[in-house]
Every structure is written in C-alpha cells, then in structure tokens.
Amino acid sequence: MYAPTKTDNYPTQTSIDQAKVEQILAHHNPNYISPTLPNPHSPTSPTSPQTPQTPHSRPQRNEAKLNKQSHINFLARLLIQGFPDRYTSQDASQPWLIFWIVQGLSLLGVGLDAGNKQKIINTLLACQSPLGGFGGGPGQAPHLLTTYAAVCTLAIVGRPGPQGGWDQIDRKKLYAFFLSLKQPDGSTLVSPHSEVDVRGTYCLLVTSTLLDILTPPLSASTPSFIASCQTYEGGFASASQPYYSPYFKVRNESTLMSDPRPPLGEAHGGYTFCAVASWVMLAPLRPPSNPSSPPNPASNPQTSPSPRPEYPTSQFTPSQEEGPKINTRSLVRWLTSLQGSPLELGAFRGRTNKLVDGCYSWWVGGCFGVLEGLGIDGANFSHYSHSKAHASGGQGGQGEGEGKSEEDEWADDDDALFNKRALQEYILYAAQAPTGGLRDKPPKHADSYHTLYNLSGLSNAQHRVHPSAEVTELLEKNWVDTPPPSPASAPTSTPPSPPSKTEETEETFERPDIYLSKLPSESYEAWNARRKRIWMAASAWSEDESEGSVAYVGGSDNRVNASHPLFNLTITHSRGMLNHFYGQSFVVPS
C-alpha cells in the first residue's frame, strides 16, 4: 500500500513535489495495491478476482520488458526525420543530439548503414572549427563539450582513411585549442572567454585519451583542481575558487596561492561523474617509480584497498603517497545515499533532497563502474573504508572509526555498492514512454538525452565492466612502439601536408601527425612508454561475464550492450579508435 514519506507536518514545495512523484511512481510499481480497495490477488481478500476495478484504482500491470523496437523506432525517427520544433533551443548542441541517438542505438545493438554513417561524418566535420575543436553547429565557436560529443560520435560511425572522419580531425589545432583553455590552477575553460567547469575537464581528457594527445602539459595541476571540487558531502561541485590573479602575473610572481580552494556550489551527480572519471583517466600520467614493475597496493592493507584478486588496481590508481587526494569513503557514502527508496522504485537523484530522474541512472549509477578503476567495489569497500578512510582522500568526510552505523555492515549478494535490480526495475517500469523512447519520470515525454542515459544506466546495472588483469597482460605483450622518424621525414614545426585527394586510398592514407603528442624534451622511449600506459589503461576495461556478474531483470531479452565506464562508448568502439590513433593493431579476443 502506498504511504508517502513523512514530512513532520511541515510541508514545503519540495516535500509536496516529492509526494506527487511518489504517488505517480507507486502506480508504476507492479506490486502496487490501491489504498482504497482490497487486493483481489490476495487469498485472504473478501473480494473475488472478478470484482470490478476502476482504471484509477489499479492501473494495468506493467511488465519488466524493455521495448527495444519502440525505442529503436523513436531514435531512428529523430535521426531520419529530424527533431521537432521544440528542439530549436538545442541548435548549439547538434553533435550532442547526434551522439545521444547513435550511442543509444549502439547500446540497443543497432548499427547504421554506410550512407547514414557518411551523412553523420560530414555533418560533424562541418562543425569542426578552424581554431581547433568542434562547435555546436557549422560556423559556431568551438567548445569542449561539443568536441567530446563529436569525437565520440566519430568513434561510433567513423573509420580511418579518406572521408572516414577519424583522419580528418585536425589534432594539431585541437591540441593547441586544448592548451589555450588550460588555467594556472589545473582547471580548463569550456570555451574561449567562458567559465571553468569540471565537465570541460572530463571532455578534454576523454577526447585527448582517444586521440593520443594526452600530455603532461594538458594534465598539469588537474588532480589538484579535481580534488578541490569535492564538497563536505563527498560528491563534487562544478568548480572551485581559483585563487590566482593576473595581478601576480604582471609582477612576474607566482600566479597561484596556497590558500584553501573551497568548492563553488553543492555536490552534483553529473559533476561527480566527470570528476571521478577524470581522476581515473589521469592515473597513467602519474606512474610509479618503476613502471615495469608497479607496486601492488594490495600488499599493504593498512594504506590501500583490498582488491578482488582477478585484477590489479595499482596500474589504474593515482599515487596514494604524494599529491592531491580525494576522500573515497565520503564519495561512496554520498553516491549510495542518492539511490531512491522503494517508493521511488530505486531510481537515482542528482543532488541531496532532489527528485529522482532517469538520466542519473548513468551520471550517478555509472560512477560505481568508474570506481572499479580505483579498485573500489562492494567486495572490498568495507575493508578499505574501515582500514584507512583517507588512503586516497583528504577533503571532508570522517576519519577512521567515526560515523559507523548499521549501514556500514550492509552487504548485497552480488557485491554491488548499489541496488542494481531496483535501478533496472525503475527503468523498465517507469522510465519507458508508451510511444517509444525513455524519459526523466512519468508522465514526462521521452527525449533523446534521457533515452541514452537511461539505457546507459541499464547497461551499467546489467554488466560489470572493470580493468582486467588478463587483458592488461595481453595489451602489454602486444604493444608496438612507434619508431622514430627517418631523417628524411623527421617532424618539423609544420607537419607535412596529407596526400592529395587523387593520391588518397584506404590502403595508403597515413596520418602525418603521428608524433604530435611527443614533447620536445621527451625521448622516443619515454614518449612510447607514456602512450603505452594511457592506451593500456583505456583499453583494459572489459566485461566480466562470470557467473553472478551479469543480471538481467525480466530476462536476457532485456539485455543491452556493455558500455565503457569512462567514455560511455561500447568497448568495441572505444578500442577501435584507440588502436588507430596509437598505431596499434592488436584486437583483444572476445
């Protein structure tokens, strides 16, 4: 029977909205029983199953079925026929609109034909700015967020060679564009003369990782910026107080102050996902003193988590001895607190005391997949958090032995840190719109944004994707160094022009900027070693198909493809683009 959350008889607009959502979601719960009529399915009910019911007293029972064809039709209609007029406000987000469609189709197991792929490639390349990066549409200023959307879409529909999209990305200008946005405190502007936002940091790191342009100058001081965005709750805000001033720069003094840098704003699920994923992607640029034999944090349980035995965490975890730190215990506590109650069908909210929203199935639920890159999951977190709460954290949260409660002893059968079954049920019962597509919550309309991120959250709840020790070993053995250029073709300040269109073929087209990410002071050995670490860390994420790691509510017909926790691309699409730009040909066996 439905009973709303108690309000202590002091209603507010927030509590009123919360009660409305709970009542609506109660009608989408298959176990919902009307508070005014007996349950006709109960053997003790005085009413027979034939007792008339009104539509409002007991809605038709929902099925735990993913209406794949309806969602495919919804996305295909947007792709082929275009978006309705109400999307006019999204004119500066055209790469995003395309990404939400094609990645949604990828998760549903649908590929596009060559003709539609080429149309998408041409559309995205028309958004490439002569200044570097991609804008929200043709002729628009470049922006980090639309650059991420464009490059990730090209990872799905693009290919090497002429007109394939990949080799038409101007990586040299893109790298210069990224450097121009870099700020002294490690943050980045999202576009020229714009604001700092940790989402921009994430988009820059994803793009530079995929395209082999992630360098120490791009990542300088970024861990400090990310750590400064963590709030007292454990989640992350969009930015922090910068504490640098042009005044000091004019006097040729240090532009950075050592004062504390408080976060600007409250913890938010979207910012937190971007911050934690960025933290994980930076790990390869902070290698141990002996990269060939990294120390295993599991060897010292007093200072590090106790990871699952099947994969090492040291290759993916930033140094815990030096540099900035984040408080992972308070982070996990905050993330788990955002999953709704049974009244909310287990959906996630994006901030404390806010309404649940289907898109946070990914932005919050997806954080638990990212935490695998830090060696944190339900199997080891209890030991990790109780042994040393600040092993990889320093701002906010409680110290060892503080704040323990019954919740600290909670454990789930599948070792997950959140209720995967409940999240799948919310998506299947409440987030699917009757006409196709997925939505924030009923009775709202479906849109491409919520369709993708509900499906991404469903994927994360169905699959466990983690850095695999076995795959890491294969990648280590099969990496091929890029040799130095011959004297006749040594790189200059201006890279050679690509072949003319009459000379280009799929077989002979070569990238002239293969050495773009090499620093002038860096040896070729050090350059290859750095690229190898980045490529391995990004490519080692693999789906765990062992018993108990895969769970489909409603049966295997509801399965969607697994998604890379860092990029929100399928593993195949991620590795395909990574291999091309890092000059590798090894394909991880399935």
DSSP category for residue 542: E
Contacts of 158 (CB under 8 A, 6+ apart): 117, 121, 164, 165, 166, 577
Query: How many Å apart are CA 227 and CA 394, to the nearest integer?
Result: 8
Q: Which amino acid is at 441?
A: K
Under 8 Å between Cβ of 552 and 462: yes
Contact 269, 364 (CB under 8 A): yes
- The structure tokens 């215990």 sit at 329
Angstrom distance (rounded) from CA 248 to CA 575: 44
Provide the residue count of the chain. 590
d(CA 219, CA 224): 10
Whether 542 and 463 have beta carbons less than 8 Å apart is answered as no
Distance CA 114, CA 132 (A): 27
Task: Say what angle helices 524-539 and 198-210 make with each other, to 10 degrees.
Answer: 110
- 């009307």: which residue's tokens? 34
| CA–CA gap between residue 271 and residue 273 (Å, rounded) | 6
Q: How far apart are CA 280 and CA 283, in angstroms?
A: 5
Burial of 87 (0-12, 13-18, 19+ CB in 10 A): middle
Tokens describing residue 439: 């939505």
- Residue 95: which residues within 8 A CB-CB, separation 6 or more? 124, 127, 134, 136, 146, 147, 149, 150, 153
Neighbouring-strand partners of residue 142: 135
Q: Is 522 helix (H, G, I), strand (E, B) or coil?
A: coil
3-state secondary structure of 182: strand
Residues catalogued as catalytic: 268, 351, 354, 357, 359-360, 440, 447, 450
